[in-house]
Chains A and B, each alone.
Chain A
């Protein structure tokens, strides 16, 4: 069974940093692209970042480019999101999601980040 479990969320002050982790299990992690998607309270989904299976192709939303950094460790079956210079508008539930081709087919339960 595919499982994605996010961790590392919490309360942080504006300007601070936080590192989110997503631990994957139940499939061959190294063969899939991974993504981070966030959802502000009461709002819609917003794609944040994507990393290819090889780690060579990385994309960011304009709203986080230059502040956030995505990475992966295939030995630990994990993907990370390093978030720096956090702002109030970064407050959201952050989901990691697996992407085989064009579909975000499995999602984690999400982790809450509060910037205040």
Chain B
């Protein structure tokens, strides 16, 4: 099985841009889609990015996703940070027999 590694926490000021990484331990990051979920305290997760870089309707275009095959990682970038973006963010991908979540990144907007 593979693992997805995320930084435990990131912080940035309102209006700035932050990037959260998600590195796959084995197998190519480009071979299986990566999804990103936002989870606010006490709430269920919601999708902010699916299939590497697609945004569900209702998610602002401040959220974007990308894949970097050279580092075998995916990234979630949030621009124009707002206090409401403060939450935990999880990446998700899969192989033939398992789905795997990253450990999660706590985003603080201060």
Q: Which of A17-56 contact B (CB under 8 A)?
A: 35, 37, 44-47, 50
In this complex, the member of B32, B97, B99, B104 whose beta carbon has the largest number of chain A beta carbons within 10 angstroms is B99
A44 to B104, CA, bound (A): 6
| CB < 8 Å neighbour of B33 from A35, A37, A102 | A102
Q: Quick check: is B37 within 8 A (CB to CB) of the other chain?
A: yes
When the two chains form their complex, are residues A109 and B44 in contact, meaning their CB atoms are under 8 A apart? yes
A4 to B75, CA, bound (A): 29
Residues of A within 8 A of B44 (CB): 95, 107-110
A103 to B39, CA, bound (A): 15
Question: A44-B104, A45-B101, A102-B33 are known contacts. Are A107 and B46 too (CB-CB below 8 A)?
Answer: yes
Q: Quick check: is A62 within 8 A (CB to CB) of the other chain?
A: yes
Residues of A within 8 A of B99 (CB): 35, 47, 50, 59
Can you name 28 A-B residue pairings with CB atoms under 8 Å?
A37-B101, A44-B90, A44-B103, A45-B45, A45-B90, A45-B92, A45-B101, A45-B104, A46-B101, A47-B99, A47-B101, A50-B99, A61-B98, A62-B1, A102-B35, A102-B50, A102-B51, A102-B94, A103-B35, A103-B51, A103-B56, A104-B37, A104-B45, A104-B92, A105-B50, A107-B44, A107-B45, A107-B46
